[in-house]
């Protein structure tokens, strides 16, 4: 196989104007984090902002949360903007990119983080729920990425947020959710071959149980006092993961240091699958 040219083997610097934190590893690059207003997505957006990227913080419905994330990034000396688009509906990817194009003229890092989950067991999952989960968690990342490749510069990054549940029957009651993440994993491996000639890496990062507002009700709820201890016990490190734990893994893959890692499923469960 022929070697990639120097131009495509390394991430490009993007627009000539420098944005984000001066001297950061991602200075001059533009990132988009879907579902970047809350939880893991917010952690990722803030970390990429600290590393110097100009960050597009996508939200589906909670504009206030997205603006809070933008303010946090700017308060730390970074640069960011919010864009809204509901995912899982017809025309979602086109609407997202139309909003993005109003603020930026190209992209270096795409993080497909937005997703929805379910706690309904197999016997109680109906077609509407099944279709909704696949529409948001699998179909939307596919088409967001497909339309985004025209904007993604050579040497860029695509990072999909998967789940430890796609590789192990950790929680059978979230079977349908796990199936959507399995589809995302297949997408990741194959897309790495499609975009590889342009020097674009494609990887999936798989969190385990993470302490976010989405999980707060059952992790910290009075009616389930043993949930936190049980979740911590699943990890080889004996604790519940944080959004920052996941964001740091994403930051590595987004950085120049991650240039030789592609087509991979990165276990970020804290050893829960060990």
Alpha-carbon distance 106 to 14, whole Å? 7
CB contact set of 262 (below 8 Å; sequence gap of 6+)? 192, 196, 201, 202, 203
State the catalytic residue, choosing from 37, 79, 163, 272. Answer: 163
Q: Work out whether strand 201-207 and strand 107-112 pair parallel, antiparallel, or are unpaired.
A: unpaired
pLDDT of res. 11: 38
State the catalytic residue, choosing from 37, 59, 166, 181. Answer: 181
Domain residue ranges of the chain, discontinuous segments joined by +: 18-214+246-264
Mean pLDDT of 221-246: 87
Task: Specify whether 13 is catalytic.
Answer: no
172 to each of 55, 119, 236, how far by Cα in Å? 35, 9, 21
Residue 22's pLDDT band, with cuts at 50, 70 and 90, is: low
State the catalytic residue, choosing from 177, 192, 255, 272. Answer: 177
The token duo for 81 is: 């903007």
Task: Specify whether 255 is catalytic.
Answer: no
pLDDT of res. 117: 87
Alpha-carbon distance 245 to 72, whole Å? 18
Question: Considering the entire predicted model, what is its pTM?
Answer: 0.90
CA quadruple 260, 35, 207, 68: dihedral sign: positive
Instruction: Write the CATH number of the domain with boundaries 18-214+246-264.
Output: 3.40.50.720
pLDDT at residue 35 above 90?
Answer: yes
Alpha-carbon distance 37 to 231, whole Å? 24
Cα end-to-end distance, the chain, whole Å: 35
Between these two residues, 23 and 118, which has the higher pLDDT value?
118
pLDDT at residue 159 above 70?
Answer: yes
Task: Specify whether 181 is catalytic.
Answer: yes
Task: Specify whether 59 is catalytic.
Answer: no
């Amino acid at each position: 196989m022929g070697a990639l040219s120097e131009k495509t083997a390394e991430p490009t610097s993007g627009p000539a104007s420098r944005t984000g934190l001066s001297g950061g590893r991602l200075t001059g690059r533009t990132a988009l984090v879907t579902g970047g207003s809350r939880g893991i997505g917010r952690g990722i957006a803030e970390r990429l902002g600290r590393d110097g990227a100009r960050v597009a913080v996508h939200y589906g419905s909670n504009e206030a949360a997205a603006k809070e994330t933008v303010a946090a990034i700017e308060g730390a000396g970074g640069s960011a903007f919010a864009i809204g688009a509901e995912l899982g509906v017809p025309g979602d990817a086109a609407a997202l990119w139309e909003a993005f194009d109003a603020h930026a003229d190209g992209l270096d890092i795409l993080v497909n983080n937005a997703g929805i989950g379910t706690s309904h067991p197999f016997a109680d999952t109906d077609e509407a729920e099944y279709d909704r989960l696949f529409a948001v968690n699998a179909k939307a990342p596919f088409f967001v990425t497909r339309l985004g490749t025209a904007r993604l510069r050579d040497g860029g990054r695509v990072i999909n947020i998967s789940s430890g549940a796609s590789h192990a029957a950790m929680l059978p009651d979230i079977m349908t959710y796990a199936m959507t993440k399995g589809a995302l994993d297949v997408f990741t491996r194959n897309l790495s071959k499609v975009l590889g000639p342009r020097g674009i890496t494609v990887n999936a990062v798989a969190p385990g149980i993470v302490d976010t507002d989405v999980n707060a009700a059952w992790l910290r709820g009075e009616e389930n006092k043993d949930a936190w201890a049980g979740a911590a016990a699943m990890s080889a490190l004996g604790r519940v993961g944080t959004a920052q734990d996941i964001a740091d893994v994403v930051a590595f893959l987004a950085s120049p240091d991650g240039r030789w890692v592609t087509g991979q499923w990165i276990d970020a469960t804290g050893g829960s699958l060990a």
